[in-house]
Structure 1
Amino acid sequence: MTAPAPDALQTPSLPRRLACMLYEGVLLFGVLMLAGLLYSTLTQQRHALQGQHGMQAFLFVVLGLYFIGFWVYGGQTVAMKAWHIRLVDAQGRPVTPKRALCRYLASWLWFLPALIAAWLARLQSSATIFGLLVVGALAYALLALLQPRRQYWHDHLCGTQLVISRPQPRKKR
């Protein structure tokens, strides 16, 4: 299969990508709840703060496996399928595991500045930290408007792009 010309690949609108991200968050809630239950059962965790850093590391790996797996094998997570968005490399080909790992790690740029600011300011309020994360994520999303193809910065960094991917029409019998 030959890759389409990069000019033929259309970037989904920013509101569409943000809606997909919101839907992804809803789906990931269930994934992370099950992963957290598995971790706490296997480690016999009795208190939420007991083994907190181990749980965070475990969930980071689970998220990585989720995203990298879907991106490499099909180019779409469940939410991306629903919103007809696909991840491809800069030439329009499927992403490699190495490129998918790069994108997963770089995608934390959505949240890293806000988390560092919360840590430096020694913020304790969950509501304040959540607000800071929302503002930081929206600011990061708006930075895509500065890119010529309106891609996110972590996609530019990793040589990937999000494109519209309409399903093939079904053949009538």
Structure 2
Amino acid sequence: MPASDSAPPWRRLAAVFYDVLVLVAIWMFAAALVLLAFHGEVDVAHQPALYHFVLQGVLLALTALYFVFSWSRGGQTIGMRAWRVRLVDENRRSPMPARSLLRFAFSLVSMLGAFGFIWCFFDPDRRAWHDVMARTRMIVVQKA
């Protein structure tokens, strides 16, 4: 695949920023459901450690579901649509759910120290580290 249609790092980061806004809304909805389930009596500061572990696990699962579902069903999250970038596999199709989940897992590691995005500046195809590992890439979607 030619590097000329690869999404530049600034566009990727802009899409991530938009997606964080969507994720905050999802996380707030999940927190509201927890409060509803406990009739507003959740005192987070005095909950056992297991509660925090479970809550963080649920938020991580919701985040994974958002990305994996979006990438597998069209290759774009809401932020990626706004910034006209798309995730594709080696065949220029939306990745299958297993590959999307793999990319999500690698992206968690890739976020440590932002080295995954820095990788874009050294890769000839401008792929992030998690894209290299998952055999995916971000491309720019041309206007219709």
Give the structure-2-normalised TM-score.
0.86
Task: Show the counterpart of 1:165.
Answer: 141
Task: Show the counterpart of 2:117.
Answer: 141
- Displacement of 1:146 after TM fit? 1.6
Q: Answer yes or no: is the 8 Å Cα contact 2:107–2:116 preserved in 1.
A: no
Deviation per residue, 1:120-172 (Å, 9 max, x gap): xxxxxxxxxxxxxxxx22x432222121211100010001110011242xxxx
- Secondary structure of the 2:139 match is strand
Q: Does 1:29 align with 2:44?
A: no
Unaligned runs of 5+ in 1: 1-5, 114-135, 169-173
Q: Does 1:150 align with 2:123?
A: no
Deviates more, 1:46-55 or 1:32-41: 32-41
**Distance (whole Å) between structure 2 residues aligned to residue 84 and residue 166 of structure 1:** 7
**Distance (whole Å) between structure 2 residues aligned to residue 78 and residue 48 of structure 1:** 31
Aligned length: 139
Give the alignment partner of residue 20 of structure 1, picking from 15, 28, 32: 15
For residues 99-138 of structure 1, the aligned pairs below 5 Å read 99-111=99-111, 113=112, 136-137=113-114
- Displacement of 1:18 after TM fit? 1.1
CA 1:157–1:8 in structure 2 vs 1: closer, same or farther (change >3 Å)?
Answer: closer
**Distance (whole Å) between structure 1 residues aligned to residue 141 and residue 105 of structure 2:** 24
- Secondary structure of the 1:86 match is strand
- Secondary structure of the 1:15 match is helix
Q: Answer yes or no: is the 8 Å Cα contact 2:116–2:130 preserved in 1.
A: no
Letter of the 2:43 counterpart: H
Task: Show the counterpart of 1:39.
Answer: 34
- Secondary structure of the 1:141 match is helix
**Distance (whole Å) between structure 2 residues aligned to residue 16 and residue 89 of structure 1:** 19
For residues 24-103 of structure 1, the aligned pairs below 5 Å read 24-42=19-37, 46-49=42-45, 50=47, 51-103=51-103
**Distance (whole Å) between structure 2 residues aligned to residue 57 and residue 40 of structure 1:** 17
- Displacement of 1:43 after TM fit? 5.6
Give the structure-1-normalised TM-score.
0.73
Q: Answer yes or no: is the 8 Å Cα contact 1:71–1:95 preserved in 2.
A: yes
- Secondary structure of the 2:94 match is coil
